[in-house]
Chains A and B, each alone.
Chain A
């Protein structure tokens, strides 16, 4: 009987212990249960070329190599004593986006633990925030961040660290396999000028209702996803802004447009509406996150899949945002993304975005318009070892109510 014991300690926040025991002799078997182990990751390397028209009317050009958004995620899961109940943990590292105010190499994007059963799930830790409903087909998280995510009103940083990820305790309940209700207490990062991170208090809450029927399970045309969410922030005093409550409403639809799995068309749209509070200017991200705001983001997606083998995917994207209290200050974004598959998980990717800010927003953000081209390689993998925990999101559970349960969203 050999024993290997490894401890992973990350910032004291999470201790994951792996115990491998060969041969099951013990009367007390529990510590010997080897968890299902997922290692997933994504390396994104692109050459970015940018041509910007500044707020003053000047031109700026820039070209650089970008590895932002590359990430590594470790996931663990195992069953509990009670049949069909499971526990899971995840740990994610991410390369910070470039040109961000607090970008510092890699950061801890996620560190969470959860339990669940066939129809419920409870997760706590640092996690992706429930502040968006759809993941749009873009190369990098921040390509659409201004439009598609409810911004953090407690941070002066527009970096992903503060905008996409945060602390939470979230419970979800599926009363039908396709219908999910969830509620969360959220703790968004509080970051003031100077970059220091404030207290990790709960400063928000969220409730959501979603209908989700994965395309993989129903190939024919029709509604695949519909969701609404209310996001509430008790924004903390930063950058001279007061404590204030900010509420946002999100709604999204995803519609599958045709019946042909070999050439697959789908459309996505998401809207965010925030009543907002009075702020003096839009210069500061925390101020923009408090102002009255409306955005709509839409995508038209196509996957070319002859003989059901994906060769390439393309998407057209359009987004619009508007700050109602600032003389309808607004921005428009249009773009296209294209991904050609070279191998399993290996893609050549290209993306073009054009963004135009109106004069008010141009003054606040420092640029009038922006052309951005990214061309590069994406290497992604998702490897499961000791596969033993069934997926709740699997077809067996979804349609047949058997074999199911297991972490939802592990690896996101």
Chain B
């Protein structure tokens, strides 16, 4: 099933890509490799799935969807008398260590204080304690193993956004895995595919956790990347676009840490109460709980529309707001050079990235190459999206590259700030005007 689906995707992608010949040899080689990998890993995958559907058959060959799954089956959350503190969890479904070669990564969920701008510090959850999380650069079809340790008192997961993982590794709490509990080590295993600009983020309490600031780039390279063939770029930049509601984040994290003290206490007493955290085996159980007098938290929110609002006051690129974006330096280019810029929306707000003095090519969206590159100077990067652009160095100078939703080019309402950085030619020699910094206009 998996191979069939890949073929369709591949056909759709390659047929329309002008600079990439459709039927080149590497593509076939890659497919052959995939077929081989699936055969190797097939036994383990089937065994893993069998546990869940009570069937020896792989899902792909099942004639009709079955409806007899018991909600919550396989979850520890509904089992009494257990604790998940310090557990080591490795869901089934991925090949064994001796069947494929894993590229292994150790990561952490941490609570840290992040400085988005001098004088503006606020607490965030962060992968490995850094904002954004570390950039993964892997090759297409690499088998990936990520051991993540939860060093916070709150629960988290990792969702591999735009990566076609095994479903038990998709990181959606209570949909396909239990949330990763405090001190738990959870291992994600999957094959990195398809190639392209992808990302990862926490999927527990997503609005808060993903925004502040559990997000990072997951770049899957491929030796037969059609974009590289069409545009022989020499440098590759990753820009994570972020929106921070500093007050909501601080208050939210404070509140939920307090709440988790009690939940963690119940778990420590081996009396986890799934209702206490709003977990239900199925919809009927949810309705029954409400009938029995359990109060869904969203009812409290109805009285307070202000609490539902997310009002970001700091906007950032790779964790920093202008002028602190300068800590990363300018985006460098030389005359006659192609560079690739990968834009990733790490939050839940729209960003409209505008580059001065250039018409760039938008070459990929959601990590997938476009049928036709688009010539643009402003590109929207909406929530959940990644956009790849190619800039050609044909207009030497210093050029603003910023969110043209100008309300977001501000620091706490003061313009200019936020999502502003600069494209700088390295080969200009003496120039008549060199940028300085202005932060209050």
Task: Please state if B266 and A261 are interface contacts (CB–CB under 8 Å).
Answer: yes
Q: Which residues of A contact B237 (CB under 8 A)?
A: none
A175 at the interface (CB under 8 A from B): no
Tell me the residues in window 390-404 of chain A with beta carbons closer than 8 Å to chain B beta carbons.
390-391, 394-396, 399-400, 402-403
Q: Does A262 contact B (CB under 8 A)?
A: yes
B306 at the interface (CB under 8 A from A): yes
B253 at the interface (CB under 8 A from A): yes
B436 within 8 A of A: no
CB–CB A395/B254 < 8 A: yes
Interface residues of A in 201-230 (CB under 8 A from B): 216-220
A29 CB–B CB distance under 8 Å: yes
Are B258 and A395 in contact, CB atoms less than 8 angstroms apart? yes
Q: How far is the CA of A93 from the CA of B263 in the complex (A)?
A: 38
Residues of B within 8 A of A309 (CB): 294-295
B113→A403 contact, CB < 8 A: yes
Of B224-232, B268-276, B315-323, the one with at least 4 CB within 8 A of chain A: B268-276
B330 at the interface (CB under 8 A from A): no
* B275:A307 contact, CB within 8 angstroms: yes
Closest CB-CB distance, A213 to chain B, in whole Å? Answer: 12
A-B CB contact pairs (8 Å), 26 listed: A83-B119, A83-B121, A216-B261, A217-B258, A218-B261, A219-B261, A219-B262, A259-B269, A260-B269, A261-B262, A261-B265, A262-B276, A307-B276, A308-B263, A344-B303, A387-B247, A390-B250, A394-B254, A395-B257, A395-B261, A396-B123, A396-B257, A400-B113, A402-B113, A402-B121, A403-B254
Assess whether B247 is in contact with A219, with CB atoms less than 8 Å apart. Answer: no
Seen from chain A, the residues whose Cβ lies within 8 Å of a Cβ on chain B are: 23-24, 27, 29, 83, 216-220, 259-262, 307-309, 311, 344, 383, 385, 387-388, 390-391, 394-396, 399-400, 402-403
A344 vs B123: C-alpha distance in the bound complex, in angstroms?
28
Closest residue of chain B to A27 (Cβ to Cβ) is: B440
| B413 part of interface (Cβ distance < 8 Å) | yes
Contact present for A308 and B276 (CB under 8 Å): yes
Report whether B413 and A23 are in contact in the complex, using a CB–CB cutoff of 8 Å: yes
Q: In the complex the two chains form, is A219's CB within 8 Å of B123's CB?
A: no
Residues of B within 8 A of A388 (CB): 247
**A216, A219, A387: most-surrounded residue (chain B CB, <10 A):** A219
Q: Nearest Cβ in chain A — how far from B392, in angstroms?
A: 38
B166 at the interface (CB under 8 A from A): no
A307 contacts across to B, CB distance below 8 A: 273, 275-276, 294
Q: How far is the CA of A390 from the CA of B246 in the complex (A)?
A: 10
Write out the residue numbers on chain A whose beta carbons fall within 8 Å of the beta carbon of B259: 308
B308 adjacent to chain A (CB < 8 Å) = no
Question: Could you tell me the distance in whole angstroms from the C-beta of B41 to the nearest C-beta in chain A?
Answer: 42
Name the residue of chain A whose CB is nearest to the CB of B269.
Answer: A259
Min CB gap B276→A, angstroms = 4
Known contacts A220-B265, A307-B294, A308-B262; is-contact A387 B276 (Cβ 8 Å) = no
Docked-complex contact A403 and B257, CB < 8 angstroms: no
Q: Which residues of B contact A387 (CB under 8 A)?
A: 247, 251
Report whether B250 and A396 are in contact in the complex, using a CB–CB cutoff of 8 Å: yes
Report which residue of A23, A29, A344, A396 has the largest number of chain B beta carbons within 10 angstroms of its beta carbon: A396
The distance from the CB of A83 to the nearest CB of chain B, in whole angstroms, is 6
Would you call A24 and B266 a contact (CB within 8 A)?
Answer: no
A388 to B258, CA, bound (A): 19
Q: Of B122, B254, B273, B300, which one neighbours A308 at CB under 8 angstroms?
A: B273
Contact of B414 among A29, A218, A311 (CB under 8 A): A29
B111 at the interface (CB under 8 A from A): yes
How many Å lie between the Cα of A309 and that of B266 in the bound state?
A: 13
Q: Which residues of A contact B266 (CB under 8 A)?
A: 261-262, 308
Q: What's the least CB distance linking A35 to chain B, in Å?
A: 13
Residues of chain B within 8 A (CB-CB) of A220 are 265
For the complex of A and B, list the 3 residue pairs with the smallest distance between their C-beta atoms, beginning with the closest. Answer: A219-B265, A261-B262, A402-B113
Complex alpha-carbon distance, A394 and B255, angstroms: 8
Q: A259-B265, A394-B254 are in contact. Are A344 and B300 (CB under 8 A)?
A: yes
Q: Which of chain A's residues have a CB closer than 8 A to the CB of B275?
A: 307
Residues of B386-416 at the interface with A, using a CB-CB cut-off of 8 Å, are: 412-414
- What CA separation (Å) do A23 and B412 show in the bound complex? 10
Q: Which residue of chain B has its CB nearest to the CB of A36?
A: B247
Q: Report whether A396 and B253 are in contact in the complex, using a CB–CB cutoff of 8 Å.
A: yes
When C-beta atoms are compared, the residue in chain A nearest to B248 turns out to be A387
Which chain A positions have C-beta within 8 A of B247?
387-388
CA–CA, A24 and B441, complex, Å: 9
Interface residues of B in 168-214 (CB under 8 A from A): none
Of A24, A216, A344, which contacts B258 at CB under 8 A?
Answer: A216
B residues less than 8 Å from A219 (CB atoms): 261-262, 265
What's the minimum C-beta distance from B429 to chain A, rounded to whole angstroms?
37
Besides A24-B413, A259-B269, A261-B262, 11 new A-B residue pairs in contact (Cβ under 8 A), listed by A number = A24-B414, A219-B265, A262-B266, A307-B276, A307-B294, A390-B250, A391-B254, A395-B254, A396-B253, A400-B123, A403-B121
A27 to B439, CA, bound (A): 11
Q: Which residues of B contact A396 (CB under 8 A)?
A: 123, 250, 253-254, 257
Chain B nearest CB from A187 CB (Å) reads 35
Chain B residue with Cβ nearest A395: B257
Are A385 and B261 closer than 8 Å at their CB atoms?
no
Bound complex: CA of A82 vs CA of B337, how far in Å?
Answer: 46
Q: Which residues of chain B are near A403, meaning CB under 8 Å? A: 113, 121-123, 250, 253-254
Which residues from B are CB-within-8-Å of A216? Answer: 258, 261-262
